[in-house]
Each structure stands twice: as C-alpha cells, then as structure tokens.
Amino acid sequence: MEIRFNDSEKSVEVIFNDTGKVFKFNMETEVKLTDFVKYVSDNDKEISITPEKFEEYQAKHSIQYKEAEKLIEYLYKIINAFNESVRTVLAADKPS
C-alpha cells in the first residue's frame, strides 16, 4: 500500500497495490474514512505500507498542506492499529 499527496488537486490517494483498490480524499471537502476503515478491517492479513512509518513518509515528502499531513498521519495510525490487531490474533491462534 502507498499513500500519495496530489498538491495540485489537494487530495490524498491511498493505493492498495495487491488489489488495485484506490481511495481518494479531497482536502477541500469533508473527509469520510468509513469506507477506508471498512476495507482495511475486511483484510485477513497485515497490510504492508511504504514507507513503513509516518515519520519516514514525512521526511521523504514535503507537504505544505497541514490538513493533508494530519490525514496521512491518521491513515498510518489506522493501518498500524489494524496490523497490531492482526499480529495479536495470529499470536493467540498459534498452538503452544
């Protein structure tokens, strides 16, 4: 999965490379994350994101639009929380 910011459109795109699914959030309208969160939660394995950490993304991309930067940070938090829950479930399912 990767996240892109389109400065000219003031939009954030989330691309799931394995499925081709794309979510586009326009920063000049109300951002609704319901469909994104539902799509993420319907996965049955960890979601790989590039770069892996928001701080790495921030260092690589100079985003002047603060609302977009906050959204991207939040998207990272959603993915990280989902991945942590998947790891917890997988660990609990392993035989002792």
Please answer whether residues 51 and 72 qualify as being in contact, where contact means their C-beta atoms are separated by less than 8 angstroms: no
Single pTM value for the model: 0.90
Mean pLDDT of the residues in the chain: 93
Q: What is the dihedral of CA 79, 82, 88, 91, to 10 degrees?
A: -70
Alpha-carbon distance of 78 to 72, in angstroms, equals 10
The helix (H) or strand (E) run that includes residue 44 is none
Per-residue pLDDT tens over the stretch 11-58:
999 999 999 999 999 999 999 999 999 999 999 899 999 999 999 999
Spatial neighbors of 95 by CB under 8 A, at least 6 apart, are none
Q: In the structure, what pLDDT confidence band is assigned to residue 96 with cuts at 50, 70 and 90?
A: low
Tell me, what's the pLDDT at 62?
A: 85
Which residue range forms the structural domain that includes residue 19? 2-93
- Please tell me what DSSP assigns to residue 45: S
| pLDDT value at 94 more than 80 | no
Number of domains in the chain: 1
